[in-house]
A and B are shown apart, each in its own frame.
Chain A
Amino acid sequence: MDLITTLALIVSSTLVYSAPLIFTALGGVYSEHSGIVNIGLEGIMTMGAFAAVIFNLTFAPVFGGATPWFGLLIGGLAGLLFSLLHAVATINFRADHVISGTVLNLMAAPLGVFLIKAIYDKGQTNNITANFGYFSFPGLANIPFFGPIFFKNTSAPAWLAIVVTILLWLVLYKTRFGLRLRACGENPQAADTMGINVYGMRYAGVLISGFLGGIGGAVFAQAISGNFSVSTIVGQGFMALAAVIFGKWNPLGAMGASLFFGFAQSLSVIGNQLPGFQHIPSVYMQIAPYVITIVVLVAFLGKSVAPAADGVNYIKSK
């Protein structure tokens, strides 16, 4: 294998595996900045994957090649609806954020499989026919050297994720909405005193995370797994949560961390095709994201990095 082919293989598979993580981690960033810890990302992704696969199987004949893109939207909406449970429990009903998030994780896979069994009468769906596949950017793919590596036969959802990351970074740090959202996660009392609707902002944070997490699940289902079963989403959501922390609660950081974790994941899959990687047991690549997250938490982060009121219920005095 020559250099360009090798690099192209690494980059494209990294992008494929990163895309779901980027979307979901961005959701985590928004939820945590509003002050709601969301360890239910795993469950939200599962619902997104479930809805996208059902939609894809049903409507592929109607929408053809555009089906997976509509599937993203449907997956996002499913995630948003599902995250509503978390929002109501933590914002209105003062539930412990970790317990409520765990409930999402406990609920999602059984609910998805129950519905699959109720609809199709079997434990896992057929493989979808319209998946994302590979995409080449017209024009850009012809650039010498960089074209074949980054823009030819690459993952379209991943590039969308990168664009969305930049947009969401701008929203979080350069707009009034972003400032208010962060204020609710740092000091809800002060935000409330300034006339910001803390509950409303926190709903926005959680529902955005639901929408993005659902999209993440939909990307995973339609680009990688190809069907839905109980083992479609195993650990992806937790890895996205790790990316939020590794990325220091910053959208760009979360994207960088997701790309790195995607790289580690893809190495454990394509490692045997690469020179020099055949002899490294894949277990090291599999556990790398998790080990790195712990090391980062211990070694590089002070306690002050997470939003100050993250995980603290805000009870408005009347």
Chain B
Amino acid sequence: MFNLSEKNKKFLVPIVSVIAGFLVGAIIMLVWSYNPIQAYGSMFISALGNMNGIGETIREATPLIFTAIGFAIASSAGFFNIGLPGQAQAGWITAIWIALANPNLPKYILLPVCIIAGALAGAIVSGIAGVLRAYFGTNEVITTIMINYIVLYLCQYLMQQIMSPKLRVDMDATKAVSANGSLHLDWLSNCFGQSRINAGIFLALIALFCFWWLMRKTTTGFEIKAVGLNPLASQYAGMSAKKNIIVSMLLSGAFAGLGGVVQGLGTYQNYFTQTASLDIGWDGLSVALLGGGSALGILIAALLFSILKIGGLGMQTIAGIPYEIVSIVIAAIIFFIAINYVVGLLFSRKAAVKTPTDHYPTNNQTVTLGKEEQL
């Protein structure tokens, strides 16, 4: 009989979820008498139909790759790092602040310092949750949510009250960083129709490789995965659960912080007032969930969501359909990922009907039940 192995399920679930998510979006559009075919058509054309669109799509994907890696590392260790927005925001404001304060340092010093400082800022923010989890058993979902808001208001305060007014344009935005602190590359931007694509994408690809290497080839990665799969067994095998909790949260926050850095030094070139938790944090979480935590999966999922987000802007202009449908589709996709149990069930049920044992209901039922328990 057709056996839905874990490996097949790993591929089927994201594909089925994406299709189902698009269908949900189409149904909502139909209900409000928008044309879904025109909507999705204009979406893909404006994201991929010209060089500027492609450049912007890659630019949009860059921070998402970082935040998704951050989520995936914590997730491997068994933690739900929902604090990506705060960690990214800390990385963003730190990198911009350092770049603005030292505009005349040579590029080969200033840029690495900004990037590392941003990663450190993200790591410190997530490290708080990691330490609390390791030493006090505090639930990281709650602490990271709370820290998101603490960071959100603190950044506002830091920019408006602590940062030197000379670095700001007004109360709500800083000046743009100098060329020495920017990830902008003229030739790259020119290649892609003057879009905001920047050197961040190269950093993101390196980060993906590092992530793959870390999780597959290093002892640290192995221990993180082991602790995530079975904390007691790994403790018995001599791994320190405390150490691995903290290490995985620090790494997770560092990558999320880098997501904020490329958003700051690459996309916007400045920092400005945020009224809600950063999108790149939530989108990174979605990307990691869709990508199943693998490097390749994250790359593909980040590009897909970026096509949606950049294409959505074009869709709003061309087809007059509210941009928010994009976020609805993304949320729907994650909903279907979350109920992957059903997707598995769907396929095993279909397969069961095809088997000859179908004529013997009792027998068939036991087979199906056995399958369910495996899932």
- Residues of chain A within 8 A of B369, CB atoms compared: 318
Judged by a CB distance under 8 angstroms, whether B171 is at the interface is: no
B322 adjacent to chain A (CB < 8 Å) = yes
3 nearest A-B residue pairs (beta carbon): A110-B327, A283-B157, A110-B324
Q: How many residues of A contact B (CB 8 A)?
A: 42
B276 lies within 8 A of chain A by Cβ? yes
- Once A281-B161, A297-B139 are accepted as A-B contacts, the answer to whether A103 and B150 lie under 8 Å apart by CB is no
A39 close to B289 (CB less than 8 A): no
- In chain B, residues 212-234, which have Cβ atoms closer than 8 Å to a Cβ of chain A? none
Checking A100, A239, A245, A303 against B338 with a beta-carbon cut-off of 8 angstroms, the contacting residue is: A100
Residues of B near any A CB (own CB < 8 A): 28, 32, 34, 80, 82, 132, 136-139, 141-143, 145-150, 152-154, 156-157, 161, 275-276, 282, 285-286, 289, 322, 324-328, 330-332, 334-335, 337-339, 341-342, 369
Residues facing B in A61-100 (CB within 8 A) are 85, 89, 93-96, 98-100
Assess the A297–B149 pair: CB atoms within 8 A: no
- Let me know if A298 is at the binding interface, CB within 8 A: yes
Say yes or no: A107 contacts B332, CB within 8 Å.
yes
CA distance A293 to B150 in the complex (A): 11
Whether the pair B328, A294 counts as a contact (CB closer than 8 A) is no
Consensus secondary structure, chain B interface: helix
In the complex, which residue of chain A has the Cβ closest to the Cβ of B33? A118
Query: Which residues of A sit under 8 angstroms from B146, Cβ to Cβ?
Result: 238, 242, 290-291, 293-294
B139 contacts A290, C-beta separation under 8 Å: no
Cβ A98 vs Cβ B132 within 8 A? no
Q: How far is the CA of A298 from the CA of B133 in the complex (A)?
A: 9
Alpha-carbon separation in the docked complex, A297 to B141 (Å): 12
Cβ 8 A contact of B341, one of A94, A118, A286: A94
Alpha-carbon gap, A298 to B135, bound state (A)? 9
User: Who on chain A is nearest to B289 by CB?
Assistant: A99
Asked if A102 is an interface residue, CB under 8 A from chain B, the answer is yes
The reply to whether the CB of A133 lies closer than 8 angstroms to some CB of chain B is no
B contact residues around A93 at 8 Å (CB): 338-339, 341-342
Given A118-B322, A287-B154; A89-B339 close (CB under 8 Å): yes
A155 to B330, CA, bound (A): 39
User: Which chain B residue has the least Cβ–Cβ distance from A231?
Assistant: B275
With known contacts A287-B149, A290-B150, A98–B335 Cβ distance under 8 A:
no
**CB-CB nearest in chain A for B333:** A103
Contact residues, A95-135 vs B (CB, 8 A): 95-96, 98-100, 102-103, 106-107, 109-111, 113-115, 117-118
B324 touches A113 (CB 8 A): yes
CA distance A242 to B332 in the complex (A): 26
Instruction: Out of A39, A107, A281, A294, name the residue touching B331 (CB < 8 Å).
Output: A107
Asked if A221 is at the interface (CB within 8 A of a chain B CB), the reply is: no
Take A113-B322, A117-B324 as given contacts and tell me if A102 and B143 are in contact as well, using a CB distance cutoff of 8 Å.
no
Residues of B near A95 (CB, < 8 A) are 338-339, 341
Whether A294 contacts B153 by the Cβ 8 Å rule is no
**Which residue in B34, B150, B157, B334 is a CB contact (below 8 Å) of A99?**
B334
Given A102-B285, A106-B330, A294-B146, also A286-B338 (CB < 8 A): no
A283 and B332: CB pair below 8 A? no
Interface pair A114/B145, CB less than 8 Å apart: no
The answer to whether A241 and B145 have CB atoms under 8 Å apart is: yes
Instruction: Assess the B154–A100 pair: CB atoms within 8 A.
Output: no
23 A-B pairs whose Cβ atoms sit less than 8 Å apart in the complex? A39-B141, A89-B335, A99-B337, A99-B338, A100-B339, A103-B338, A107-B332, A110-B325, A113-B322, A114-B324, A114-B325, A117-B324, A231-B276, A234-B275, A238-B148, A238-B149, A287-B149, A290-B146, A291-B146, A291-B150, A294-B138, A298-B132, A318-B369
CB distance from A19 to the nearest CB of B (A): 20
| Extra pairs beyond A109-B327, A114-B28, A298-B136 (13, CB < 8 Å) | A98-B141, A107-B327, A110-B328, A241-B142, A241-B145, A242-B142, A283-B157, A294-B132, A294-B138, A294-B142, A294-B147, A297-B143, A318-B369
